[in-house]
């Protein structure tokens, strides 16, 4: 690993008031980020929130309009070369050359980093083994499955053993088993001292991997903290049920609205309702049964549970993380489901 700069005692990643627009579109409207060395930051946000833009700025692929971004103290605008020396990136669009084999892809990457021939070869084999690609090493990558291509892409970002690694949605499109395999690889990297900035739409992934989570929406940071802190912000446990008479969902929400200051989250399609209820959950359950009875509305799956990061996300942005199209509406918050 390249030795860390001895004259830099600040955080591994430092972003201050960064703005970036594409014509009329404000992708980043002034964001701040701090990631301490060796930590994992999970950057969450719905489609179009500005996650990839932030990653591209930090990896010198895009220049910010204004603001400052430093990686290990190196300014991405003034010293892009110095930044590139110490980072790795696995982006949303894979860097793989399809007509080449996995091994060739890795060796070319080694050449870009000026590794000598012997080192390149050794590193390629190491990575092929680590990512379980050794049997496919000499096949053209266009024949690789989606999961294999993701693993190769991640391997490519590690050829030069980066101090700071950026992973833009590393497990999107992977099946659950491959996702968990990828998490193991990522954990291993982090335990060897790599600082990681990870974007994801899978909140479970952020929950599993991130020390700290930053939620962005429309180019702004809307919440930050540990998963535990963010869950506490939902304000208590979640009361949840589905209404059998789906067209009466709003009515049901209205009837139990008095239980909480929080806004109920409704899914019109499934008839599901979730409401953060502070304090005594059993009281909320009893009251819900009583009120729905009085209305003549039937419920299914009525229960109380601890909040998940998905609840946090819904409460903060008014829509689910994994699917922008989800028909989530909040009757007390007009415009919460607006499209961008």
Residues 177-236 that bind ligand ATP (CB under 6 A): none
Q: Return the range that interacts with ligand ATP (CB under 6 A); candidates 21-29, 143-151, 229-237, 244-252.
A: 21-29
The only residue of 12, 18, 53, 151 in contact with ligand ATP, by rule CB under 6 A: 53
- Report if residue 11 touches ligand ATP, rule: CB under 6 A: no
Q: How far is the CB of 1 from ligand ATP (least distance, A)?
A: 28
Q: Which does 49 bind (CB under 5 to 8 A by kind): Mg ion, ligand ATP, none?
A: ligand ATP
Q: Is 189 helix (H, G, I), strand (E, B) or coil?
A: helix
Q: Closer CB to ligand ATP, residue 79 or residue 337? A: 337
Name the residue with tokens 């940071």: 221
Q: Closer CB to ligand ATP, residue 217 or residue 240? A: 217
Query: Quick one: CA torsion of 208, 209, 211, 216, rounded to 10 degrees?
Result: -90
The only residue of 39, 51, 84, 123 in contact with ligand ATP, by rule CB under 6 A: 51
- Report if residue 53 touches Mg ion, rule: CB under 5 A: no
Burial 302-314 (b: 16+ CB within 10 A, else e): eebeebbbbbbbb
Burial 90-129 (b: 16+ CB within 10 A, else e): bbeebebeeeebbbbbbbebbeebebeeeebeebbeebbe
**Packing angle, helices 281-295 and 249-256, rounded to 10:** 130
The only residue of 15, 27, 70, 206 in contact with ligand ATP, by rule CB under 6 A: 27
Q: Return the range that interacts with ligand ATP (CB under 6 A); candidates 48-56, 70-78, 155-163, 244-252.
A: 48-56
- Report if residue 288 touches Mg ion, rule: CB under 5 A: no
CA 83 to CA 74: how far, in whole Å? 6
Binding to ligand ATP by CB under 6 A, coded x per residue (else -) over 99-118, reads --------------------
Q: Return the range that interacts with ligand ATP (CB under 6 A); candidates 50-58, 275-283, 298-306, 307-315.
A: 50-58
Q: Return the range that interacts with ligand ATP (CB under 6 A); candidates 40-48, 136-144, 235-243, 278-286.
A: 40-48
Query: Quick one: CA torsion of 318, 319, 320, 322, rounded to 10 degrees?
Result: -140
Cα Dmax for the chain = 77
Q: How far is the CB of 91 from ligand ATP (least distance, A)?
A: 10
- Report if residue 305 touches ligand ATP, rule: CB under 6 A: no
- Report if residue 91 touches ligand ATP, rule: CB under 6 A: no
CB-based contact 241:293 (threshold 8 Å): no
Q: Which does 170 bind (CB under 5 to 8 A by kind): Mg ion, ligand ATP, none?
A: none
- Report if residue 52 touches ligand ATP, rule: CB under 6 A: yes
What's the start-to-end Cα distance of the chain, in Å? 42
In terms of DSSP H, where are the helices of 157-297?
Answer: 176-191, 203-209, 227-233, 249-256, 281-295
Name the residue with tokens 């193991």: 184
Q: Which residue is nearest to Mg ion (CB)?
A: 52
Q: Return the range that interacts with Mg ion (CB under 5 A); candidates 47-55, 179-187, 232-240, 290-298.
A: 47-55
CB-based contact 123:110 (threshold 8 Å): yes
CA 190 to CA 200: how far, in whole Å? 17
Q: Closer CB to ligand ATP, residue 72 or residue 205? A: 205
The only residue of 52, 105, 201, 317 in contact with Mg ion, by rule CB under 5 A: 52
- Report if residue 288 touches ligand ATP, rule: CB under 6 A: no
- Checking 251-259 for CB contacts under 8 A at 24+ apart, the result is 251/295, 251/297, 252/292, 252/295, 252/297, 252/299, 253/331, 254/331, 255/291, 255/292, 255/294, 255/295, 255/297, 256/284, 256/287, 256/288, 256/291, 256/292, 257/332, 259/284, 259/287, 259/288
Q: Return the range that interacts with ligand ATP (CB under 6 A); candidates 20-28, 113-121, 178-186, 247-255.
A: 20-28
Contacts with ligand ATP by CB under 6 A lie at 22, 25, 27, 45, 47-53, 92
Contacts with Mg ion by CB under 5 A lie at 51-52
């Amino acid at each position: 690993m390249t030795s860390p700069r001895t004259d830099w005692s600040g955080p591994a990643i430092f972003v201050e008031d960064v703005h970036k627009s594409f014509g009329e579109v404000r992708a980043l409207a002034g964001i701040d980020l701090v990631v301490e060395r060796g930590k994992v930051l999970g950057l969450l946000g719905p489609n179009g929130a500005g996650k990839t833009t932030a990653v591209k700025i930090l990896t010198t692929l895009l220049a910010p309009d204004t603001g400052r971004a430093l990686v290990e103290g190196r300014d991405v605008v003034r010293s892009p070369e110095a930044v590139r020396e110490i980072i790795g990136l696995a982006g949303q669009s894979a860097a793989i050359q399809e007509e080449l084999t996995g091994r060739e892809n890795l060796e070319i990457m080694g050449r870009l980093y000026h590794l000598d021939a012997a080192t390149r070869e050794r590193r390629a084999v190491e990575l092929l083994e680590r990512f379980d690609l050794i049997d496919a090493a000499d096949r053209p990558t266009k024949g690789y499955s989606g999961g294999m291509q993701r693993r190769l892409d991640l391997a490519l970002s590690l050829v030069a053993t980066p101090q700071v690694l950026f992973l833009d949605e590393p497990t999107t499109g992977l099946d659950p088993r491959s996702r968990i395999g990828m998490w193991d690889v990522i954990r291993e990297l982090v335990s060897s001292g790599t600082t990681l900035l990870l974007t994801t739409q899978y909140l479970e992934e952020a929950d599993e991997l991130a020390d700290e989570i930053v939620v962005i929406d429309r180019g702004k940071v809307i919440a930050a903290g540990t998963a535990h802190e963010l869950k506490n912000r939902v304000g208590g446990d979640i009361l949840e049920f589905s209404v059998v008479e789906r067209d009466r969902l709003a009515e049901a929400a209205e009837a139990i609205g008095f239980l909480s200051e929080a806004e109920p989250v409704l899914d019109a399609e499934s008839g599901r309702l979730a409401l953060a209820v502070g304090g005594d959950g059993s009281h909320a359950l009893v009251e819900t049964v009583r009120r729905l009875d009085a209305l003549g509305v039937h419920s299914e799956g009525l229960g109380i549970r601890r909040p998940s990061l998905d609840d946090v996300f819904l409460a903060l942005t008014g829509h689910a993380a994994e699917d922008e199209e989800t028909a989530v509406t909040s009757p007390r918050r007009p415009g919460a489901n607006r499209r961008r």
